[in-house]
Amino acid sequence: MNETSPRLEVSRAGRPQWGDVTTTRPVHVGPVTFGEGLPVVIAGPCAVESLEQTLEIAQEVRDAGAEMLRGGAFKPRTSPYSFQGLGERGLEILAEVRERTGLPVVTEVMDTRRVELVASYADMLQVGSRNMQNFPLLIEVGKAHKPVLLKRGWSATLEEWLYAAEYIAAQGNLDIVLCERGIRAFPLNDYSRNILDLNILPALREETFLPVIVDPSHATGRADRVPAAARAALAVGADGLIIEVIGERTVRADVSCDGEQGIVPAVLRELMAHLRAQTPPISAAG
């Protein structure tokens, strides 16, 4: 933030209790807490495709030790002809799966007209990369009184990202978790979908007390790259991860959305064992 900026709600500046870069203001989603204790792992399908698919994956990720379920009911797709998500039926499925597994649910909202609907089902509202600067959406999401997962726009600067968070905070909602999900630098689809910008974590820590998590799935776009990116994120002090998972016996080509990047439950279990064996990182500033 430059010196002429007004004091921001999301900024450490002028907030003595959050002035120290080692402090994070915890965000609670039901029994789950971001920014305190161990990193939180959110896992689940890219998109909710059916009750059976979502329930199977949810049970697997819960058994692996993940604490929250992800899954899109409204999907932001590049092509209007691609699967757009199950809509409200997808939300109903998420609610049923939460009931049966106990996992709180985060799901994306893309449209100001749907904020109330999505908030009536979700435990946490996700604002996706493509909508990080959809200011009317940020305002409506800010009014919804639900924790928010705010993904970084794939070309957003740190300042633009924090101002996006400020739109939510200005509505009186500071329960925001930031999510780095990879940025675009040059065409690199030969080895990675995006570039995972871990450098921004310590830089964010200096500016804000909001918890920051990392999405190694969209950052890499390839299942075989996800574990290394996840471990790297934790090593720089991420407060959690959000990871896409597919069914153990699922054929990638049959997945409606992002089939290439979902890891199978066995890989998640291995990753979780690794993560839990680490002591919590001291702080990104260290």
- What are the φ and ψ backbone dihedral angles of 71, each rounded to 5 degrees? 165, 130
In the set 62, 114, 151, 193, which binds ligand PEP (CB under 6 A)?
151
Segment (H or E) for 68: strand 68-70
Interaction pattern, residues 36-55, with ligand PEP; x per rule: CB under 6 A:
----------x---------
Cβ burial of 212 (10 Å; 0-12, 13-18, 19+) is: buried
Q: Does 256 bind ligand PEP (CB under 6 A)?
A: no
Count residues near ligand PEP (CB under 6 A). 11
The smaller minimum CB distance to ligand PEP, of residues 1 and 91, is found at: 91
Which one of Mn ion, ligand PEP, none interacts with residue 151, CB within 5 to 8 A by kind? ligand PEP
Least Cβ distance, residue 196 to ligand PEP (angstroms) = 12
Q: Does 258 bind Mn ion (CB under 5 A)?
A: yes
For residues 170 and 174, give the distance between their C-alpha atoms in angstroms, rounded to a whole number: 8
Report H helices in the chain. Answer: 51-64, 88-101, 115-121, 135-143, 158-169, 200-207, 216-220, 226-235, 265-277
From 26-34, 39-47, 99-107, 245-253, give the range in contact with Mn ion by CB under 5 A: 39-47
Which one of ligand PEP, Mn ion, none interacts with residue 108, CB within 5 to 8 A by kind? ligand PEP
For residues 143 and 127, give the distance between their C-alpha atoms in angstroms, rounded to a whole number: 14
Q: Does 104 bind ligand PEP (CB under 6 A)?
A: no
Cβ burial of 86 (10 Å; 0-12, 13-18, 19+) is: buried
From 8-16, 126-134, 198-206, 228-236, give the range in contact with ligand PEP by CB under 6 A: 126-134
